[in-house]
Copies of this chain bind each other. A is one copy, B any other.
């Protein structure tokens, strides 16, 4: 399931995201000193999501990690969705914000894509947060600025840049999602890909004896070894396949960009 962006007071959301008050200000009024902070909560929530996945990220769990109850968090953060927005933007601070295009945009884009790929695999839950309405936080903007900087080097019309960015993000996210979800499924269920696949593919023959004639193209390609996977690399079946698909797909997408650039070269 996809988690949607917060829908609370925009003023409060944006103010939190951009940290209007420099975080950690002594808060001079009456009442007890705050024992926590937004930053601390966000950090804790991020490592929890990294370790146990989004489904395990409950307000109770975050509170417990901090030695508080779930409700204590509501002093700092208006709701769970706002917390997710903060986590989302905050974690994007890990991404590089500048790429050297000296060796050409293509080299830089490969670097960018691989940074993003690793980032998503480090924080797979990011892929499960809805992209529908951008969080509009500072770090997401910084990341966007970085790719845009590379892509403008291709020299295509300004109007064609956003769709190109869209393809790039869709591609990296899609490729990373496959691997991330495979890992997560394995972790959650304790069943490796191989253990999952084997009984099912065996069952396939039993349950669909006419497979070859029903799905001739799949069968033919399988015979040609199209679905074979390099066994040298580490990781599970889906992980290797995912990595290969990422590398091969990236070449393809970059070729597409090159064609687009050539079509409207200055």
Q: Is the CB of B4 within 8 A of A1?
A: no
Q: A45 an interface residue at 8 Å Cβ cutoff?
A: no
Which of B178, B207, B248, B252 meets A18, CB within 8 Å? B207
Which of B1, B5, B203 meets A128, CB within 8 Å? B1
A132-B218 in contact given A3-B1, A7-B189, A227-B162 (Cβ < 8 Å): no
Interface size class of A (residues with CB under 8 A): 35 or more
Chain B residues lying within 8 Å of A215, measured Cβ to Cβ, are: 141-142, 144-145
Q: Is the CB of B185 within 8 A of A4?
A: yes
Q: DSSP class of A's interface residues: helix, strand, loop or mixed?
A: helix
Q: Is the CB of B170 within 8 A of A174?
A: yes
Q: A119 an interface residue at 8 Å Cβ cutoff?
A: no
| 216-231 of chain A: CB within 8 A of chain B | 216-218, 220-221, 224-228
Q: Is the CB of B133 within 8 A of A185?
A: yes
> How close is A154's CB to chain B, nearest CB, in angstroms?
11
Which of B55, B221, B256 meets A152, CB within 8 Å? B221
Please state the number of chain copies in the assembly. 2
A252-B164 in contact given A132-B185, A171-B174, A193-B133 (Cβ < 8 Å): yes
Chain B residues lying within 8 Å of A173, measured Cβ to Cβ, are: 170, 174
Q: Is the CB of A2 within 8 A of B1?
A: yes
Q: Is the CB of B249 within 8 A of A203?
A: no
Q: A71 an interface residue at 8 Å Cβ cutoff?
A: no
A54-B170 in contact given A132-B181, A132-B182, A256-B255 (Cβ < 8 Å): no
Stretch binding the partner chain, chosen from A9-17, A32-40, A59-67: A9-17
Q: A208 an interface residue at 8 Å Cβ cutoff?
A: yes
Identity of the chain B residue whose Cβ is nearest the Cβ of A251 in the assembled complex: B260
Q: A95 an interface residue at 8 Å Cβ cutoff?
A: no
Interface string of A191-225 (1 = CB under 8 A from B): 10100100111011001100000111110110011
Which of B133, B167, B191 meets A249, CB within 8 Å? B167
When chains A and B are docked, how far (Å) is the Cα of A201 from the Cα of B207?
55
> How close is A102's CB to chain B, nearest CB, in angstroms?
17
Chain B residues lying within 8 Å of A83, measured Cβ to Cβ, are: none
Chain B residues lying within 8 Å of A258, measured Cβ to Cβ, are: 259
| 159-174 of chain A: CB within 8 A of chain B | 159-164, 166-167, 169-171, 173-174
Q: A73 an interface residue at 8 Å Cβ cutoff?
A: no
Q: Is the CB of B181 within 8 A of A221?
A: no
Q: Nearest 5 CB-CB pairs, A to B?
A: A170-B174, A256-B256, A132-B181, A163-B248, A1-B1
